[in-house]
Amino acid sequence: MNRRSILWAMTAFGLPSLPGDALAQQKSLKEQLIGTWTFVSAVETSKDGTKSDRWGPNPKGLIIFDANGRYSFMISRSDIPKFAANNVNQGTAEENKSVVQGIIANIGTWSVDEASKTLTTNIEGGSFPNLNGNSQKRIIISLTADELKYTNPASTTGTVAEAMWKRAK
């Protein structure tokens, strides 16, 4: 068959004309989320409208979503002071308070509701035990190959958090 015959057959039978056709590249939200994301920022809005940046300058964080529905999540302030004793079991009350207020981490399973663009994490264990055994929902605002933005309408501090992540390279 010559090229013209192939193109005619593809058109006549509704086949995609190119391997890179937009329809062939369309991926589900779940497929797009799989991988490793690095934390960029989050703006938290309280009930009275006050905005804050809980994570401060140069925060560190990762979310890893695997294809089997497991995830790992952590965000840390960059300015958490070191423990004077250099021993994790010998932190002072103030040092331990800084860690608890400066880090959030959890693991578990995840799923996506494609229609509502809602990401649900089912928390099995983490740094804030009140979340263990519970689910959190985040509404995906935008998702590209390199950037994820979502809203967490019920953060652990009682605020609405809008977070931004970049795909790890």
Same domain, 87 and 17: no
- Find the angle CA(120)-CA(32)-CA(141) to the nearest 5 degrees: 60
- Domain residues for 112? 34-167
pLDDT of residue 1: 52
- Find the angle CA(83)-CA(53)-CA(93) to the nearest 5 degrees: 25
Same domain, 154 and 78: yes
On whether the pTM is more than 0.85, the answer is no
Same domain, 50 and 90: yes
Same domain, 11 and 90: no
Same domain, 10 and 46: no
| Number of domains into which the chain is organized | 2
Region of residue 68 (left: phi > 0; alpha: psi -120 to 50; beta: else): alpha
Per-residue pLDDT tens over the stretch 116-154:
999 999 999 999 999 999 999 999 999 999 999 999 998
Per-residue pLDDT tens over the stretch 57-97:
999 999 999 999 999 999 999 999 999 999 999 999 999 99
Give the span between the Cα atoms of 56 and 61, in whole angstroms. Answer: 12
Same domain, 42 and 3: no
118 has which bridge partners? 113, 139
Task: Say whether pLDDT at 7 is over 50.
Answer: no
Same domain, 72 and 151: yes
Same domain, 44 and 103: yes
Same domain, 12 and 71: no
CB 33 within 8 A of CB 148: yes
